[in-house]
Chain A
């Protein structure tokens, strides 16, 4: 069964990821009083990029970008196969490092600024990611995704604070807010797209493909909070993810001009308050 899920992820995640981004762009446009692009616009963009000439800055960069894609896909496969959630997060971080290295390798000031901001961003959300993994362990007594998914009580019952913290960092992980981060999806001019400044054509297409995989993985981890092995919990997970995604898009549009220093402060406060208190209460209750 878990093999089927893993293969399903491999095949369907790009489709779902593209649709998610399309829906996101339409939703954003509607929130701003615009009509917005067609739902399938991300796919048009992808095919356009594949057809464009690709200006290669150096060969290392392309290899590193491929590494980014491979490790994101690996993390996703591991998750859907039902592996260790800690390992999933580590693989995801490794993928991120490939991406950062790729932009460091280009000899462009905007690229390296993008890489630095990406590191800052990692510093901001990584504690929350670790707390999420620890929270799952305390709730289900295992790091194994398969076992967490069939726990008798869904994890969100024990981990409401961690859930809130995780949704909070999703705003950063989906590259929405702050607008001046490494490569924000909506501020197309800020830092000349930072991390992707020197990428063009099909290499850029690989980056968006990897991001589609990553987004689907991140949102599936969100769904894991709701699962307890029954069918209704799957429905609850889909509904919960939808609502959380809407909240993320709304937050991005309500606070469109958050800067990176505000991000670091607020993320750590949320991590400490929501995540920390949640863990403390759990410790007290389970003792």
Chain B
């Protein structure tokens, strides 16, 4: 059975303008319903497989994002939603913005758009889900190598 059959998602709002957040929540509503793919919007990093971040990274939320990521059990993937999360977007030159999510975390999937469309977000999540299986495999291989 594949890990990707049951991706539980943790949504973190960085310094987003809330536009992308509304689109993320729209994905869980009847019109788009990501639960079709088994996605659960959990609030607990220890239960999550996918970390979905909207908005850029600023000086204040940098340690928060790092801690959330470190609390998630392996295998895990990071999805950056919206152009702010990809590289800082319109807020890029603000004094407090450090940049996109990839300034602190290894981002696996970038979902561009301002705001990102629900279709694009779902597409990103599905690609992230495929990555989960690959990561699961490599975690296993690492373990095997460590065992030998």
For chain B residues 43-82, which have a beta carbon within 8 Å of chain A?
43-44, 46-47, 49, 71, 73-75
A50 CB → nearest B CB, Å: 9
Contact status A48-B3, CB under 8 Å: yes
- Complex Cα distance, B74 from A162, in Å, reads 47
A41 CB within 8 Å of chain B: yes
Q: Which of B3, B33, B74 is A35 in contact with, Cβ under 8 Å?
A: B33
A193 CB within 8 Å of chain B: yes
A258 CB within 8 Å of chain B: no
A141 CB within 8 Å of chain B: no
Supplied contacts A52-B3, A52-B73, A193-B47, 5 more A-B pairs, CB within 8 Å: A47-B5, A48-B3, A48-B49, A55-B46, A188-B40
Instruction: Give the number of residues in A that approach B within 8 Å (Cβ atoms).
Output: 32
Contact status B36-A35, CB under 8 Å: yes
Contact status A44-B38, CB under 8 Å: yes
Q: Which of B33, B41, B74 is A36 in contact with, Cβ under 8 Å?
A: B33
Residues on B with beta carbons closer than 8 Å to the beta carbon of A37? 35-38
What are 12 A-B residue pairs whose CB atoms fall within 8 Å in the complex? A34-B35, A36-B33, A37-B37, A38-B38, A41-B5, A41-B6, A48-B1, A48-B5, A188-B42, A192-B44, A193-B42, A196-B47
Question: B interface vs A, CB < 8 Å?
Answer: 1, 3, 5-6, 29-30, 33, 35-38, 40-44, 46-47, 49, 71, 73-75, 136, 139
- Complex Cα distance, B32 from A164, in Å, reads 37
Question: A interface vs B, CB < 8 Å?
Answer: 25, 29, 32-38, 41, 43-45, 47-48, 51-55, 188-190, 192-193, 196-201, 204
* Given contacts A34-B35, A36-B33, A44 and B6 within 8 Å (CB-CB): yes
A41 CB → nearest B CB, Å: 5
Contact status B30-A53, CB under 8 Å: no
Residues on A with beta carbons closer than 8 Å to the beta carbon of B42? 188-189, 193
Contact status B41-A200, CB under 8 Å: no
Please give me the residue from chain B that is nearest to A26 by CB atom: B35
- Complex Cα distance, B42 from A43, in Å, reads 18
Q: Which of A34, A196, A199 is B30 in contact with, Cβ under 8 Å?
A: A34
- Complex Cα distance, B80 from A65, in Å, reads 35
Please give me the residue from chain A that is nearest to B36 by CB atom: A35
- Complex Cα distance, B22 from A163, in Å, reads 43
Contact status B36-A36, CB under 8 Å: yes
Contact status B1-A55, CB under 8 Å: no
Residues on A with beta carbons closer than 8 Å to the beta carbon of B30? 32-34
Contact status A51-B136, CB under 8 Å: yes
Q: Which of A29, A188, A198, A200 is B33 in contact with, Cβ under 8 Å?
A: A29
Contact status A53-B38, CB under 8 Å: no
